[in-house]
Every structure is written in C-alpha cells, then in structure tokens.
Amino acid sequence: MELYNYLKSLHLIFVITWFAGLFYIVRLFVYQIEAADKTSPEKEILQKQYKIMAYRLWYIITWPSAVLASIFAFWMLFFTPMGNAWLQMPWMHVKLGFVFVLYLYHLKCQQIFSQLQRDEVKYTTNFMRLWNEVATIILFAVVFLVILKNAVNWIYGVIGIFLFSITIMLGFKFYKRIRERNSKQ
C-alpha cells in the first residue's frame, strides 16, 4: 500500500505539471499567432522569443510530464493490487477514455507546435483560445470521475460537461466582444 501511495503521489505531481504545460503552450500559440501579424522588426523579435519559450516548455516540462504521469499510472494500474482492483471499476474505464482523448489533444498540440516552429500559421487566435478550453473540460471530467468514482451516472456527467462547455463558449464570446469594443476605442 505504501508503494501505491508513492506512485499515486508522483502520478498526480506529473499530471499537474502536464496540464500546466498544456494550458500554457496554447497561450504561447496565441501569442505566436498574434506576433505573426506584427510589423518588422517587432514580428521577428517576438516570433524568435515565443519559439524559444514554446520549445523549452514543450520539451522540458510538458512532454516529460506526460511521459512520467503515464509511467506512474501504468505502474499503479498494472503492477499493484490496488490498481488491478481499480481496473475492474466502470468509472475507471470512462476515466481512461478521457485520458485517451487527452493523449489525442496532446498530439494535436504537438502538430500545432511543429507548424508554428516552422512559421506556419494555420489557426486563428480565437480558435486557439477555444482550443485551450478542451484541456479544461478533460481535466474537469477526470477529476470528478476520480473523486466521485461513479461511472453509472456518466450521462449526468456528460450533460454537465456539455453545459460547462456551453458556459465556456458563452464566456469566450462575451470576452471577444469586450476585446473588440476596447480595440475600437
């Protein structure tokens, strides 16, 4: 049991740093896209700085955190008696589904990161601001599942996540209007 608690602690630490990296990298994507619209020499200076910041964040914090969080999770689930018990629970299957979506999100961020490192801007800042909320929704879903351990009421959870997503979208639209109004003044 003591080993399990150490593994769980390490897993949580690296999940937190993984999410921190995911949240911040998308903000850096927003800044990189905004920098592409600047004039010289400001454009080149900002792009160079944001590329360095994104590179360091992505490869020194985010990727290692994702790998270590995964290693400790697999170790807990497959090599401890407690983990084997969790794998029998329906809520864990739902949680692992969300974790799979998190891996897909991470890989899409990798693709966007690579494009921006090559100065290929394929998305708008508005898209990136919304994209940043996907990680938030995944985080909410996983935390509630882990704490409540109830996949039987997953329908209520899906409805709740859907309503939460709508709230985020409405908040985003409201924020966008404020920004547009302030830029006209």
Which residues define the annotated binding site for heme? 11, 95
- Could you tell me which residues are annotated as the binding site? 11, 95
- Pair 31, 46: CB distance under 8 Å: yes
- DSSP string over 131-150: HHHHHHHHHHHHHHHHHH--
CA proximity to 26, closest of 107, 112, 120: 112
Q: What is the residue type of 55?
A: Y
What CA–CA distance (Å, rounded) separates 108 from 126?
A: 17
